[in-house]
Amino acid sequence: MSALPSYEPESSVPADLTEALEAFRVHALTFRRLRARTVHTYLWHLRRLLIALPPGAHTGAITPEALRNRLQTEEARGISAHTLRVQCFALGTYYRWLTHTGYTGPCPLDEIRAPRRPATEREDYAPAEADAILRLAREAAMRPDATRREQFDYAVLAVLRYAGLRRGEVIVLRLDDLDLERRRVRVDGKGGRVRTVPLLPVLVEVLQWYLDDVRPFLPASEMLFANPNAQRQPYMGITCEKVIERITHRYGNAAEVECPHMPHRWRHPYATQLLRSGVDIHKVQKLLGHADLRTTVIYLHLLVDDLHDSVDKAFG
């Protein structure tokens, strides 16, 4: 097992709180199998929150009133609703860890609702926009003078488009996770949840081309996507999430699609097409790797045009 990411507390944090946060960190990474970046974010918020609350807060001695006052103070300071929601998520995860240590008391969040997410319009790719970006990447990859980098980029974008995986899930894909003959891939998802995602024939074709014509010329590694620019063994996979972010940004801008170009945007057209074709939302939930159906419902909002079409058909 690889070493766990280190956590360096501030010197002003009391020793007992430091010990509690370190134990929580290890639990979150090894037992809950949360991603290192998520755990780091939670620790940052927990440290600030628990220090601001009365002494002993880290042992579970937080009253709903104290937490409510703290959230109201933060809101008055101009802290965003999103940040306050993350604080509540972090505290909820912390209390779940406390129950593993023998804590049997209540959680203050049982009586406090987390701040609501601001009602903003999502900015996601429409299927046609995602296809336009992917088409541009394909044209670049199939040119006679295409670089390995361009070929690599096209294969990554094809997986995002036709499998709906998260950025972190693409990064950890291994060669033996693929089963092209049965058209499926094993995905190591969030929270240690492993799922099997079926592969569309078009993606099988792209991946077979990648394995035959591209992958042998990339750095030797057990990872499916080995960075063409890698020079040393520790960097043979896409160890930096920024790599995929740069790929989506580069081709999104080149295709002149007006939308924030981030890897997560690619999950929307994948899921939207599933829903439009009549796939049950519970199956979509499994394909996307959501632990809670409510996440799928929020994430998979239908476009306004779809709603107009539904009303027109119902009363036409």
Please give the Cα distance from 313 to 310 (Å, whole number): 5
Task: State in words which class domain 127-310 has.
Answer: mainly alpha
Query: What pLDDT is recorded for position 7?
Result: 45
Percent of the chain with pLDDT over 90: 37
- The CATH classification number of 15-110 equals 1.10.150
Return the active site residues.
166, 190, 264, 267, 290, 299
- Residue 23 reports pLDDT greater than 90: yes
Is the pLDDT at 108 greater than 70? The verdict is yes
* Residue 285 pLDDT exceeds 90: no
Whether 1 shows a pLDDT value over 50: the answer reads no
The larger pLDDT score, comparing residue 302 to residue 212, is at: 212
pLDDT for residue 251: 94
| Lowest mean pLDDT segment, chosen from 11-25, 52-66, 241-255 | 11-25
- The C-alpha atoms of residue 44 and residue 275 are separated, in whole angstroms, by 38
Is the separation of the CB atoms in 75 and 115 below 8 Å?
A: yes
For residue 11, pLDDT over 50 is answered with no
Question: Can you give the pLDDT at residue 117?
Answer: 63
pLDDT of residue 298: 67
Phi-psi region for residue 60, left (φ > 0), alpha (ψ -120 to 50) or beta? left
Ranges of each domain in the chain: 15-110, 127-310
Q: Is the pLDDT of residue 304 over 80?
A: no
Q: If pLDDT is split at 50, 70 and 90, which confidence band does 158 have?
A: very high
> Which residues contact residue 121 at a Cβ distance below 8 angstroms, ignoring those fewer than 6 apart?
none
Q: 82-86, 112-116, 198-202 — which is least confidently predicted?
A: 112-116
Residue type, 165: L
Whether residue 291 has pLDDT greater than 50: yes
What is the predicted pLDDT for the residue at 312?
A: 57
Residue 118 pLDDT class (50, 70, 90 cuts): low
What pTM does this model have? Answer: 0.64
Is residue 6 scored above 50 in pLDDT? no
**Cα(249)–Cα(253) distance, integer angstroms:** 6
**Predicted confidence band of residue 233 (pLDDT cuts 50, 70, 90):** very low
Q: What is the pLDDT of residue 236?
A: 44
Position with higher pLDDT, 221 vs 206: 206
Residue 29 structure tokens: 């990474």
Which of 272-308 are b and which e, b meaning 16 or more Cβ less than 10 Å from the residue's Cβ?
Answer: bebbeeeeeeeebbebbbbeeeeebeebbeeeeeeee
Most confident of 149-153, 274-278, 284-288: 149-153
Q: Which residue has the tokens 């992917």?
A: 134
pLDDT value of residue 159: 96
- Write down the mean pLDDT value for the chain: 83
Q: Tell me which of 39 and 4 has the higher pLDDT.
A: 39
Least confident among 156-160, 183-187, 289-293, 311-315? 311-315
Q: Which of 81, 108, 115 is nearest to 92 (CA)?
A: 108
**DSSP sequence for the chain:** -PPPPP----TTS-HHHHHHHHHHHHHHHHTS---HHHHHHHHHHHHHHHHHSPTTGGGT---HHHHHHHHHHHHHTT--HHHHHHHHHHHHHHHHHHHHTT--S--GGGS-PPPPPP--------HHHHHHHHHHHHHHHTSTT--HHHHHHHHHHHHHHHH---HHHHHT-BGGGEETTTTEEEEE-GGG-EEEEE--HHHHHHHHHIIIIIGGGSPP-SBSS--TT--SGGGSS---HHHHHHHHHHHHHHTT--S---GGGGHHHHHHHHHHTT--HHHHHHHHT-SSHHHHHHHTPPPHHHHHHHHHHHH-
Mean pLDDT of 43-58: 88
Residue type, 176: D
